[in-house]
Amino acid sequence: MGKLLRLAAEDPSDLEVISAAAQDALMRMGEVKFDSKSRRFSALIARFRWEAAEGGRFERVQSGLSFESVLSVRSKRVRTEAPDALASVLSISFSPDSEPPGGVITLILAGGGEIALRVECIDAALVDMGDSWRTSRRPDHDKP
């Protein structure tokens, strides 16, 4: 088992670090939640451990990805009605409003899907939970 990541983001450069760590994570749509009352968007993901992918040993770890201060969520080309549908995270980006600190955080998914979070500010976390497991599959594509 490798070292568990615990990352927090409060600005665009912090969010880039979370984006890099979450690249190629798999998430089931049934494990993606938006609680409008608490203004929290969260997803349980199977994160590919790029930091441990040396020498042909590939691992994934269950992680929690969360965003606070979320005002609304929109998606396109995402099968939100299918709880077992899988999506692969390619990147996470931030487009600031003309009046910071608000803006839109976008999760870019493989196959052209997107989940856009309108936020008051950047307040994100990525936390590994539990032991990693070996996988024979390494994501194979050009990194964004």
Cβ atoms of residues 41 and 106 within 8 Å: no
The answer to whether position 41 is within a domain reads yes
pLDDT in tens, 81-95: 999 999 999 999 999
**Does residue 66 surpass a pLDDT of 80?**
yes
Q: Is residue 63 part of a domain?
A: yes
Distances (CA, A) of 27 to 9, 86, 99, 105, 120: 20, 6, 32, 17, 25
Residue 140 has a pLDDT of: 80
Query: How is residue 15 annotated by DSSP?
Result: H
Tokens of 7: 């990352």
Q: Are 27 and 44 in contact (CB under 8 A)?
A: yes
State yes or no: pLDDT of 144 exceeds 50: no
- Whole-number percent of the chain with pLDDT over 90: 83
Q: 1 lies in a domain?
A: no
Domain count, the chain: 1
Give the pLDDT of residue 142: 55
55 occurs within a structural domain: yes
Average pLDDT over residues 23-52: 96
| 144 assigned to some structural domain | no
- Predicted confidence at residue 103, as pLDDT, reads 98
Residue 101 lies in a domain: yes
Closest residue by Cα to residue 28 from 108, 73, 90, 83: 83
Domain extent at residue 45? 6-134
